[in-house]
């Protein structure tokens, strides 16, 4: 299979297989997996053009809606946090595209930047794994705490809507 825009040729089963494997594992963590597809495209396929970033953004548009739908259907979407993340994402998309095109058009520099970001994420994950973890609750107890906090938020939200106040402040907590 030849991709003329990227100037690469690859066996037809490789891209869908890699996307399936990456999506399978990353969806468990609630992320789209584009952060892993980028190194694959640049290192294995040799696709170093700045348009590789647009390809990953399109992957996000395709991969994310099913997970969002499931969270909404289950009633687990924390809307105040969602809106904060959306605002940050929109700003980040424009700033990131500008930096990629203006300051990091060279594939070598971009690879170093992407490697630094992935290294930072990896170090943080390893550090969290090595740290002595607090005693874990069973899944039912953690789920019960989450649902109680959602009910409390909705109660506060309904009360503020009736009184004409703005939304209650967003409280971000960890659910361990």
**DSSP helix/strand/coil, 9:** strand
Q: Over the stretch 50-93, which tens digit does the pLDDT of each residue have?
A: 777 777 778 778 777 877 888 888 888 888 888 998 899 899 98
Q: Over the stretch 91-137, which tens digit does the pLDDT of each residue have?
A: 998 998 899 889 998 888 988 998 999 899 999 989 988 887 666 66
Q: pLDDT at position 39, please?
A: 81
Averaged pLDDT score across all residues of the chain: 80
CA dist 169 and 171 (Å) reads 6
Q: pLDDT at position 149, please?
A: 81
Q: pLDDT at position 88, please?
A: 93
Can you point out the beta strands (E) in 49-107? Answer: none
Q: pLDDT at position 72, please?
A: 86
Q: Counting every residue, how long is the chain?
A: 176
Closest CA to 107 of 57, 38, 37, 56: 38
């Amino acid at each position: 299979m030849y991709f003329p825009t990227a100037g690469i040729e690859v066996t037809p089963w490789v891209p869908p297989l890699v996307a399936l494997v990456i999506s399978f594992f990353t969806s468990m963590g609630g992320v789209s997996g584009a952060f892993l597809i980028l190194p694959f495209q640049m290192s294995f396929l040799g696709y170093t053009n700045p348009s590789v970033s647009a390809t990953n953004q399109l992957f996000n548009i395709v991969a994310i809606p099913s997970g969002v739908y499931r969270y909404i259907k289950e009633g687990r979407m924390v809307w105040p946090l969602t809106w904060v993340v959306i605002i940050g994402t929109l700003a980040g998309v424009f700033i990131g595209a500008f930096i990629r095109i203006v300051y990091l058009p060279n594939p070598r520099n971009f690879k170093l930047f992407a490697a630094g970001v992935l290294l930072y994420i990896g170090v943080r994950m390893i550090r969290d794994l090595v740290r002595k973890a607090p005693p874990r609750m069973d899944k039912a107890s953690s789920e019960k705490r989450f649902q109680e906090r959602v009910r409390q938020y909705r109660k506060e939200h309904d009360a503020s809507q009736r009184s004409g106040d703005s939304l209650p402040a967003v409280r971000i907590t960890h659910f361990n």
